[in-house]
Structure 1
Amino acid sequence: MALREIIILPDKRLREISKPVTEVTTEIRKLADDMFESMYEAPGIGLAAIQIAEPVRLITMDIVRKEGDGKSDPRAFINPEIVGASSEMNVYEEGCLSIPEYYAEVERPKTVRIRYTDLDGNVKEEDADGLFATCIQHEIDHLNGVLFVDHLSKLKRAMVIRKFEKAAKRGIKYV
């Protein structure tokens, strides 16, 4: 495993649409391992491959660790897609490893049904709710070049982007 640098807004690569994974290979499994290590080190509960400058449709998550019961449930999702969503909405305060130290409430569908491939190459479907639903939607957004701030009002989004652009120009690097 290797610790990878997480790219930060305003890095334009965050707006790239990630390419599908065509085969679950040793390289994809190693990338997932690197992503878990980088995600835990940050620390975070979810990471999309594009956040470490790898434009492939791969997500790692561990929401159990966040909930603080001392357990861990690392999960990888290859080519994840939302195949159904509830009309009922939920609001969660979201943050992002690529937009450090900024949090905002985002409204998303309360439950979603996802289809993905696991690291063994098995295609699966499952329902997600609560933090899992929020996190998987957030990470799938990354794969499509969408950031959580894109769900905010135009004014709030512009303020956040401007803040990070100014910091980048001054050479301020968030850790």
Structure 2
Amino acid sequence: MPNELDIDEWAAEVGLPEGRPRRVTVHGSPVLHRPCQEVTEFGDELKQLVADMLESMDAAEGVGLAANQIGEDARVFVYDCPDETGFYHVGAIVNPVLLAPEPGVEEDKDDEGCLSVPLEFSPLARPAKASVTGQDIEGRPIRVDGTGLFARCLQHETDHLNGILYVDRLEPDAREAVLAANAQRIEAHEMPPWSEGTPRD
């Protein structure tokens, strides 16, 4: 098992520049509702994007963040998320592909939320184990395996890059209730400070 690192330690280990937190896009932003473009250039621009994503995720106290959640049309997500043992996985995966669950993998139904539909949660069943293949920030092939919350994170963030939000997987009544509550928060200016739905200074 890899050594457990925090965000800053991992960023330093892979040579990321200083990042800056950016506002998180909310449901209804067009970039969230279409598949993201494959990343083909592995260089300073990608490293800066990953650094900004880490800072944005940290500022919002999230466990994962996809590039389109800060308005970038690129197939990459970052994570800082515990698995079922409590071990925290930190990193980024580029051009992720979610593998089909192995036969017999149980589903875990638990509350799921999203920084792009902030402050709202709804139960959603997902496989309790997940694996994603892709590339690291240098373009080398990698595979990331997860259990528990980390498995949910890998599935949730890969969905984002395919233009799918967790609310799109809910039953119609549950989806309507979450989105109605989210719309009310936006209208009442109750969105968190890191959200695009918050009035800007």
Give the TM-score range, shorter chain.
0.7 to 0.9
- Unaligned 5+ runs, structure 1: none
Which among 32, 40, 49 is matched to residue 22 of structure 1? 40
Which among 129, 133, 136 is matched to residue 115 of structure 1? 133
Q: Percent identity?
A: 34
Structure 1 Cα separation of the partners of residues 191 and 40 of structure 2: 34
Write the letter of the residue equivalent to 2:127: P
Which range moves more in the overlay, 147-156 or 51-60? 147-156
- The answer to whether the Cα contact below 8 Å between 1:10 and 1:161 also exists between their aligned partners in 2 is no
- The answer to whether the Cα contact below 8 Å between 1:86 and 1:109 also exists between their aligned partners in 2 is no
- The answer to whether the Cα contact below 8 Å between 1:16 and 1:55 also exists between their aligned partners in 2 is no
- The answer to whether the Cα contact below 8 Å between 1:9 and 1:165 also exists between their aligned partners in 2 is no
Structure 2 Cα separation of the partners of residues 63 and 42 of structure 1: 14
Q: Does 1:106 align with 2:124?
A: yes
Count of paired positions: 171
Residues 114/89 of structure 1: CA separation in 2 closer, same or farther (3 Å cut): same
The residue number in structure 1 matching 2:78 is 60
Structure 2 Cα separation of the partners of residues 172 and 24 of structure 1: 39
Deviation at 1:171?
6.6
- The answer to whether the Cα contact below 8 Å between 1:58 and 1:79 also exists between their aligned partners in 2 is yes
The residue number in structure 2 matching 1:172 is 189
SS of the aligned residue for 1:85 comes to coil
Structure 1 Cα separation of the partners of residues 183 and 141 of structure 2: 40
SS of the aligned residue for 1:93 comes to strand
- The answer to whether the Cα contact below 8 Å between 1:92 and 1:134 also exists between their aligned partners in 2 is no
The residue number in structure 2 matching 1:83 is 99
SS of the aligned residue for 1:100 comes to strand
Q: Deviations over 1:66-112 (max 9, x none)?
A: 99x7x864200100111231352122321111111111111112222
- Unaligned 5+ runs, structure 2: 1-18, 193-201
Residues 73/86 of structure 1: CA separation in 2 closer, same or farther (3 Å cut): closer
- The answer to whether the Cα contact below 8 Å between 1:36 and 1:74 also exists between their aligned partners in 2 is no
Which range moves more in the overlay, 115-124 or 50-59? 115-124
Residues 126/39 of structure 1: CA separation in 2 closer, same or farther (3 Å cut): closer
Deviation at 1:2?
1.2
Q: Does 1:74 align with 2:98?
A: no
Deviation at 1:16?
2.0
Query: Taking structure 1 as the reference length, what is the TM-score of the superposition?
Result: 0.88
SS of the aligned residue for 2:96 comes to strand
The residue number in structure 1 matching 2:15 is none
Which among 105, 110, 128 is matched to residue 92 of structure 1? 110
The alignment's C-alpha RMSD in Å is 2.1
Query: Taking structure 2 as the reference length, what is the TM-score of the superposition?
Result: 0.77
Deviation at 1:166?
4.7
Deviation at 1:14?
1.4
SS of the aligned residue for 1:63 comes to strand
